């Protein structure tokens, strides 16, 4: 009992955590919070794919399907396959569950160090004026003993805007984790008549068309490095969008199949069960 109390005080004391513990070692770390439950089951569907939300979650019309893609890299930026990710989150209306491991589970990265997780968008929760933006909690355990695991939270903010982190009551004990905001995209409806046309949570729409290059490229020779970086970033963004478009297409087909098998899931919702939004994040671990 004494040890449990000691571990809680040391690991979740924001000042210690930020100055001496993981908050200092890895800028993407975040506090574990009090809602972690040990022993959640694996949610693997196939290599690199996992389903965290259950039929029960999808039947709730307030829950909005979300695909969260995560890539785990080694300290030398190599993909880390076979890394276990223990993930837990609130529902879209900001509710945590403590029975039956609902919206809790483990998944494993594939050969590219990636895993796509079909779940529901996490909602805001907390006392009025001190709300926390929706987020995924993650405990990442790499297979290699020379690499340190990571506990963190990845935030889903309306419009991908950091202002939604301002009220976070954890800001009182550690710096605001703006670096942990997921860049999320809304998935436009396949037909304008099937759903609302406003982008979900004001996220930029996921479009497979070529993204226009920024017009701010300089012609000055001294800015060549800067321009090259801009071009590289632009290409990376285009590649990411293409991956996400393919991923959403795959998951929408999977959801269609599930709905055919379980008509009840579809009947309980007025909207077609489809992915509303998605995002991809990359986390780099540290050496021990
Ligand atoms: Fe939380």
Q: In this predicted model, what pLDDT tens digit does every residue of 37-52 receive, in sequence order?
A: 999 999 999 999 999 9
Q: How many A from CA of 253 to the centre of ligand 1?
A: 30
Residues 6+ apart with CB under 8 A from 162: 176, 178, 181
Report how far residue 138's alpha carbon sits from residue 87's, in angstroms, rounded to the nearest whole number: 5
pLDDT(1) > 70: no
The pLDDT of residue 197 is 72
Nearest Cα to Cα of residue 55 among 206, 257, 284, 287: 257
Q: How many A from CA of 151 to the centre of ligand 1?
A: 12
> What mean pLDDT do residues 185-210 have?
79
C-beta of residue 79 within 8 angstroms of C-beta of residue 111: yes
Q: How many A from CA of 35 to the centre of ligand 1?
A: 7
C-beta of residue 154 within 8 angstroms of C-beta of residue 281: yes
Torsion of CA 42, 45, 98, 22, to 10 degrees: 60
Q: How many A from CA of 156 to the centre of ligand 1?
A: 12
Report how far residue 37's alpha carbon sits from residue 159's, in angstroms, rounded to the nearest whole number: 30
pLDDT(5) > 50: no
All domains of the chain in start order, with CATH: 32-210+223-287 (2.60.130.10)
Q: Considering the entire predicted model, what is its pTM?
A: 0.89
pLDDT in tens, 109-133: 999 999 999 999 999 999 999 999 9
**Three-state secondary-structure class, residue 178:** helix
User: In terms of residues, how long is the chain?
Assistant: 288
Q: How many A from CA of 286 to the centre of ligand 1?
A: 24
């Amino acid at each position: 009992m004494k040890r449990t109390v000691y571990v809680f005080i040391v690991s979740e004391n924001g000042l210690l955590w930020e100055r001496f513990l993981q908050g200092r070692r890895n800028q993407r770390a975040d506090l574990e919070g009090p809602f972690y439950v040990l022993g959640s089951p694996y949610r693997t569907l196939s290599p690199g794919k996992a389903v965290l939300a259950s039929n029960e979650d999808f039947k709730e019309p307030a829950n909005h399907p979300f695909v969260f893609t995560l890539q785990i890299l080694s300290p030398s930026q190599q993909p880390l396959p076979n890394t276990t990710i223990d993930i837990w989150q609130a529902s879209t209306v900001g509710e945590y569950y403590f029975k039956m491991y609902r919206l809790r589970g483990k998944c494993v990265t594939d050969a590219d160090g990636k895993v796509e997780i079909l779940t529901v968008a996490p909602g805001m929760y907390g006392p009025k004026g001190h709300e926390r933006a929706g987020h995924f909690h993650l405990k990442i355990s790499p297979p290699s003993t020379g690499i340190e695991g990571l506990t963190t939270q990845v935030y889903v903010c309306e419009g991908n805007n950091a202002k939604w982190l301002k009220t976070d009551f954890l800001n009182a004990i550690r710096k605001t984790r703006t670096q942990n905001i997921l860049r999320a995209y809304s998935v436009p409806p396949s037909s304008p008549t099937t759903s609302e046309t406003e982008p979900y949570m004001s996220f930029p729409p996921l479009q497979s068309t070529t993204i226009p290059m920024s017009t701010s490229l300089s012609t000055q020779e001294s800015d060549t490095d800067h321009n090259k970086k801009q071009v590289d970033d632009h290409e990376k963004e285009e590649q990411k969008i293409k991956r996400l478009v393919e991923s959403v297409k795959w998951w929408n087909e999977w959801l269609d199949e599930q709905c055919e098998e379980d008509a009840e899931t579809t009947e309980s919702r007025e909207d077609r069960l489809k992915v509303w939004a998605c995002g991809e994040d990359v986390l780099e671990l540290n050496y021990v």
